Amino acid sequence: MAEATIHFPKGFLWGCATAAHQVEGNNTNNNWYYWEEQGRTRHKAGLACDWWGGRWREDMDRAAETGQNTHRLSIEWSRIQPTPDRWDEDALERYRAMLRGMNERGITPLVTLHHFSDPLWLFEQDSWENETVVPLFEKYVRKAVEALKEYTNLWCTINEPNVYALNGYVAGDFPTGKSGHKGMNLAMRVLVNMLRAHAAAYKAIHEIQREARVGYALHYRPMVAARSWMPLDALMRNIQYKGINMAFPTALRTGVMQSPLGNVRVPEVKGLQDYLGLNYYSVDTVKFDLFNPKELFARRYYPAHADLSATKFIANIPEGLFDSLQWAVKTYPDLPIIITENGVEDPDDRIRPRYLAQHIQQVWRAVNFNWPVKGYYHWSLIDNFEWERGWTQRFGLWGLDVETQARIRRPSVDLYAEICRENGLSSEMVRKYAPEVLEKMFPG
Ligand code: FCB
């Protein structure tokens, strides 16, 4: 075992990511509230982490005191524009206070403008299925960016367009819950509208703020074929890989959105990103499965020996992050990359310390090839409302007692604090927090 410390470039961004509906609480004017009321989620968001009630302050104290220098949050469209003809200036004032509070604590905000939640009035007019969403989104973005530009120049237009479209229209877990062949067609329409909206927002933000840096967050899933000797596994892997990952990346590179149902030209979006936001969680194994027509005869799963999270939602496969970064660099040479999400659900902090340390080591490998990785956001700062899975998954460095709002400090808080403060990771830290992977990470 070698004693060593690995270092990151000066100015590297270290923080956590959250989303409005998952932490604010009392969001009762959006599609997710409707979904919860319909009984389509395991629990209700309720007060969530009570950030709207002001507890963002204590949580930002926690982030700052533990060495974080940035935070990715999202703002809630339904609060800012509660009805199509009304802006809520008080809501904007609250967001201004939040961002100002982050600045005062030495925390650079990265603001996401859309993270899965839509105002109810938009939902009632078919949300992103309808192309009228494009100018509506642009209008909202202009209003929000004008109000908040004093406090940040880092923007993320849309979080995980692929997850929004596929979960909402193919898998049926997210609102709208549509699925089947009709759902597939609608998902493609949603993605095209999201691309157009991204392009409109990108241009609008730059018009308002010259020095803005604008991107979106891609949920990227590396995939491997289950059996190397089985051509049908390779075929299924390729279909799934392209279908799930490639709509946005190819459109941004070429101006053409590729989809399993055909290609669509979206020339206006070509090249419009100042960084690539990458959300990486795990790698899927893909197998041909004659008995699974619902997923187009493919099955995606984690291998039996995988290092699995509490509800088996995530497998700890750190090399997948390196592979994702390599894909990003090959696809967009020289484009800065920000890891906008990475994390694991783990109420007992059994796997999180090693997940954290091993993934950060992979980021370091990438940085050592001079790949332009600029920051890392852990999902998440504190346990929060996990969409249709409700409170069954605990992604926080800090735990949350949903009844009492008490925050519970998990050991990973201290590991991440040491990493952020050191701007690096040492064998000593791994020995202390994740000794089981010490030899693997620092052999010799
Ligand atoms: C991502 C979402 C985020 C959170 C994590 C666990 O897909 O962007 O809101 O739910 O998964």
379 lines ligand 1 (CB under 6 A): yes
pLDDT digits (tens, 9 = 90+) for 372-386: 999 999 999 999 999
Confidence band of 298 (pLDDT split at 50, 70, 90):
very high
The per-residue pLDDT for 379 is 99
Which atom in ligand 1 lies closest to the alpha carbon of residue 386?
10
Is a pLDDT exceeding 70 seen at residue 1?
Answer: no
103-150 residue pLDDT tens: 999 999 999 999 999 999 999 999 999 999 999 999 999 999 999 999
Residue 174 has pLDDT above 70, yes or no: yes
Question: What separation in Å is there between the alpha carbon of 334 and the centre of ligand 1?
Answer: 27
Q: What pLDDT, on the 0 to 100 scale, is given for residue 308?
A: 98
Closest ligand 1 atom to 393 CA: 6
Pick from 257, 44, 70: nearest CA to 154 = 70
Other beta carbons less than 10 A from residue 5's beta carbon:
13
pLDDT in tens, 312-357: 999 999 999 999 999 999 999 999 999 999 999 999 999 999 999 9
Q: In degrees to the nearest 10, what's the CA dihedral of 320, 273, 60, 310?
A: -30
Query: What is d(CA 108, CA 148) in angstroms, rounded to the nearest whole number?
Result: 13
Sign of CA dihedral 111, 113, 116, 118: positive
Using 50, 70 and 90 to split pLDDT, how confident is the model at 233?
A: very high
Q: Can you tell me which atom of ligand 1 is nearest the CA of 159?
A: 8
Q: What pLDDT shows up at residue 260?
A: 81
How many A from CA of 272 to the centre of ligand 1?
A: 24
Sign of CA dihedral 105, 111, 116, 122: positive
pLDDT of residue 261: 85
- Ligand 1 pocket, 387 CB below 6 A? yes
Contact by Cβ (8 Å): 59, 396 = no
Whether 219 lines ligand 1, by a CB cut-off of 6 Å, is yes
Q: Which atom of ligand 1 is nearest to the CA of 343?
A: 6
pLDDT, position 369:
97
Q: What is the pLDDT of residue 382?
A: 98
Range 155-179 average pLDDT: 95
Mean pLDDT, residues 40-62: 98
Map residue 65 onto helix, strand or coil: helix
Please return the burial class of 428, using the count of CB atoms within 10 Å of its CB with bins 0-12, 13-18 and 19+.
middle
The CA distance from 246 to 416, in Å, is 32
Q: Contact at 8 Å (CB) between 164 and 116?
A: yes
Name which residue sits closest to atom 5 of ligand 1, judged by CA: 379
> In a mutational test of the pocket of ligand 1, which residue from 18, 386, 391, 394 has the highest number of ligand atoms less than 8 Å from its CB?
386
Amino acid 259: pLDDT: 85
pTM: 0.98
Of 312, 411, 423, 310, the closest CA to residue 363 belongs to 423
Across 416-441, average pLDDT = 98
User: In the predicted model, is pLDDT for residue 294 greater than 80?
Assistant: no
pLDDT at 306 over 70: yes
Q: Which residue, among 88, 110, 79, has the nearest Cα to 15 in the 3D structure?
A: 110
Calculate how far, in angstroms, residue 32's C-alpha sits from the geometric centre of ligand 1.
14
- List, for residues 192-231, the tens digit of each pLDDT value: 999 999 999 999 999 999 999 999 999 999 999 999 999 9
Q: What domains, with CATH codes, occur in the chain?
A: 12-416 (3.20.20.80)
